[in-house]
């Protein structure tokens, strides 16, 4: 892994501002190119795998959570086997209720107006297993930010605090890696430095751009596109290996080139604010308001 370069090597305040603008322009061009290329191979594999997991009814979700409160990915024995994973010996299945649809040849004798093969629905209990109960091939994941931000991570955290935002590390965020709660950012403590850096920038972008009256907030697609485009831009500018992590994330929220271009000015301003704050310990970005947003991709 390479260590991220220091962005504040350009002398003078004016030079730093110009450097930030140039870094943003370069990164945005690269992100646009990735979005134009469509979904990456890693994202397509991830989506294909995720499509094999059922969307369970509310009743079954309650059954799953009552038996396995920490469940994350649940599937049947044969589904896990088809994905190269196997239920560990001795694991107890999670009981859910599954419908059985079959044709009843006696329907017509009961109701002459009905077709002979009218479907009949019955229910039975079946067993499913959480991923924690299995072992084998890892599931495909979208690309991830890589590299080592070094001292820039501390500079970023200091910039967040100087802006008046409280920063907390948490052992669990309900599947999210970070949360922006108007004046407070929470981040999953288990993240490695590169992903902690990226997540913090993403949540800071939410604080800068989206902590407004709910009626004025853009759609979820726009919010996530803007925040992740800012994260990509800042990570790119400090030398982290961005790969297709951000374009994958944006496309998971149905964002595309048009969405990004419509928000280009807002993205550029937020990214420049964060880059300048990282490089200038005296800068105090504007505090945020109080609405709740979360980075829910389980990135």
pLDDT, tens digit, 9 for 90 and up, residues 156-171: 999 999 999 999 999 9
Instruction: Print the domain residue range for 229.
Output: 13-40+142-295
Q: Which of 140-149, 274-283, 288-297 shows the lowest per-residue confidence on average (mean pLDDT)?
A: 288-297
- Taken in order 188, 189, 191, 195, the sign of the CA dihedral is positive
285 and 146 both lie in a single domain: yes
Q: For residue 98, what are the β-bridge partners? A: 124
- How far is 273 from 285, CA to CA, in rounded Å? 7
* pLDDT per residue as tens digits for the range 21-36: 788 888 989 999 999 9
Tell me: pLDDT of 11 over 80: no
112 and 170 in a single domain? The answer is: no
Residues 17 and 116 in one domain: no
Q: Comparing 8 with 44, which gets the higher pLDDT?
A: 44
The residue among 80 and 17 whose pLDDT is bigger is 80
- Among residues 159, 180, 152, the alpha carbon closest in space to that of 168 is found at 180
Residue 148 shares a structural domain with residue 289: yes
Position with higher pLDDT, 109 vs 134: 134
pLDDT at 194: 96
- 54 lies in the same domain as 174: no
In a shared domain, residues 105 and 122: yes
Burial class from Cβ neighbours inside 10 Å (0-12, 13-18, 19+) for residue 229 reads buried
Dist. CA 269–CA 275, nearest whole Å:
10
- Residue 75's DSSP bridge partners are 129
Q: 3-class secondary structure for 177-209? A: CEEECCCEEEEECCCCHHHHHHHHHHHHHHHHH
pLDDT at 143: 87
| Longest distance between any two alpha carbons in the chain, whole Å | 91
Res 28: pLDDT: 87
Are 22 and 162 contained in the same domain?
Answer: yes
**Eight-state DSSP code of residue 288:** -
Contact 70, 171 (CB under 8 A): no
The answer to whether residues 246 and 165 belong to one domain is yes
pTM score: 0.75
Q: Which of 271, 196, 265 is nearest to 230 (CA)?
A: 271
Kindly report which listed range (17-26, 41-50, 141-150, 276-285) carries the lowest average pLDDT score.
276-285
Number of separate domains in the chain: 2
- How does pLDDT run across 70-118, given as a tens digit for each residue? 888 999 999 999 999 999 999 999 999 988 776 665 545 555 555 556 6
The string of pLDDT tens digits covering residues 197-226 is 999 999 999 999 998 777 778 999 999 999
Whether residues 35 and 94 share a domain: the answer is no
Q: What is the pLDDT of residue 1?
A: 43
Residues 27 and 66 in one domain: no
Q: Is residue 8 part of a domain?
A: no
pLDDT of 289 = 44
Strands 178-180, 184-188: pairing is antiparallel
Of 296, 72, 73, 47, whose CA–CA distance to 188 is shortest? 296
pLDDT for 123: 82
172 and 129 assigned to the same domain: no
105 three-class SS: coil
Are 121 and 148 members of one domain? no
């Amino acid at each position: 892994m390479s260590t991220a370069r220091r962005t504040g090597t350009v002398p003078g305040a004016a030079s730093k501002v110009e450097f930030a603008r140039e870094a943003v322009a370069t990164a945005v061009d690269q992100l646009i190119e990735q979005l134009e290329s469509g979904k990456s191979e890693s994202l397509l594999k991830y989506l294909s795998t995720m499509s094999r997991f059922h969307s369970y009814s509310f009743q079954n979700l309650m059954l799953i959570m009552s038996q396995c409160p920490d469940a994350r990915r649940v599937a049947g024995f044969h589904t896990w086997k088809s994905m190269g994973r196997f239920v560990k010996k001795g694991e107890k299945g999670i009981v859910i209720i599954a419908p059985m649809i079959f044709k009843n040849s006696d329907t017509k004798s009961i109701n002459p107006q009905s077709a002979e093969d009218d479907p009949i629905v019955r229910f039975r209990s079946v067993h499913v297993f959480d991923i924690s109960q299995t072992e084998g091939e890892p599931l495909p994941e979208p690309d991830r930010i890589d590299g080592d931000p070094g001292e820039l991570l501390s500079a970023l955290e200091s910039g967040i605090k100087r802006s008046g935002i409280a920063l907390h590390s948490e052992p669990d965020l309900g599947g999210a890696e970070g949360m922006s709660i108007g004046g407070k950012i929470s981040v999953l403590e288990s993240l490695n430095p590169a992903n902690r850096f990226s997540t913090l920038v993403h949540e800071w972008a939410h604080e800068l751009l989206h902590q407004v009256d709910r009626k004025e907030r853009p759609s979820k697609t726009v919010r996530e596109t803007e925040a992740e485009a800012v994260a990509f831009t800042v990570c790119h500018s400090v030398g982290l290996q961005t790969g297709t992590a951000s374009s994958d994330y944006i496309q998971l929220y149905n964002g595309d080139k048009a969405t990004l271009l419509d928000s280009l000015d807002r993205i550029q301003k937020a990214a420049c604010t964060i880059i300048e704050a990282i490089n200038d310990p005296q800068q105090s970005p504007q505090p945020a308001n109080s609405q709740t947003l979360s980075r829910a991709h389980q990135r």
